[in-house]
Structure 1
Amino acid sequence: MKSAHLEKLLLCDVLENIADTLPNVDCLTCLNTANVIVPLLRNTHQYEETVIFPTYEAASTGNASPASTRRLRAEHVEDECFAGEVTEILLAIGHGKKIENAEAIGFMLRGFFESLRRHIAFEREHVLPVIGIVDVD
Structure 2
Amino acid sequence: MAVLRVGIGGWHMIDEVDLISLVAGHARLARLCDALEIVADRLPVMPGEAEALRLREDLGHVLPTHEARECAVLAALFGGHPPAGQNRAIMQHIGNCRASCLVQGQDLVAALSDETPAPCTETLGYMLRSFFQTCRQAMAFEALAILHMGDRRLTSDAAALMRASLEARCGG
TM-score range, shorter chain: 0.7 to 0.9
Name the structure 2 match of 1:79: 101
Deviations for 1:21-62, whole angstroms, at most 9, x for unmatched residues?
Answer: 112233122210111113211111111112224413559x97
Q: Quick check: 1:5 aligned with 2:41?
A: no
Partner AA of 2:100 in structure 1:
E
Q: 1:17 aligns with which of 38, 41, 44?
A: 38
Partner AA of 1:8 in structure 2:
L
- TM-score normalised by length of structure 2: 0.67
Rg comparison, structure with higher value = 2
Aligned counterparts of 1:58 and 1:37: Cα–Cα separation in 2: 31
Identify the range of structure 1 (42-51 vs 9-18) with the bigger mean alpha-carbon deviation: 42-51
Verify the 8 A CA contact 1:23 1:99 in the aligned structure 2.
no
| Equivalences for residues 40-59 of structure 1 within 5 A | 40-56=62-78
Deviations for 1:63-109, whole angstroms, at most 9, x for unmatched residues?
Answer: 311221112112222221111110111123xx7x8856211110111
Q: Which has the higher contact order (CA 8 A, sep 6+)?
A: 1
Q: Which runs of 4+ in 1 moved over 3 A?
A: 56-59, 97-100
Aligned residues with identical type, % of pairs: 21
Aligned counterparts of 1:26 and 1:78: Cα–Cα separation in 2: 24
Name the structure 1 match of 2:129: 110
Verify the 8 A CA contact 2:104 2:127 in the aligned structure 1.
no
Name the structure 1 match of 2:17: none
Q: Quick check: 1:124 aligned with 2:146?
A: no
Verify the 8 A CA contact 1:19 1:110 in the aligned structure 2.
yes
Q: 1:31 aligns with which of 18, 36, 53?
A: 53
Are residues 99 and 48 of structure 1, via their aligned partners in 2, closer, same or farther at CA, if it must alter by over 3 Å? closer
Aligned counterparts of 1:74 and 1:98: Cα–Cα separation in 2: 29
Are residues 25 and 70 of structure 1, via their aligned partners in 2, closer, same or farther at CA, if it must alter by over 3 Å? same
Aligned length: 133
Partner AA of 1:114 in structure 2:
Q
Name the structure 1 match of 2:10: none
Give 1:6 shift.
Answer: 0.3
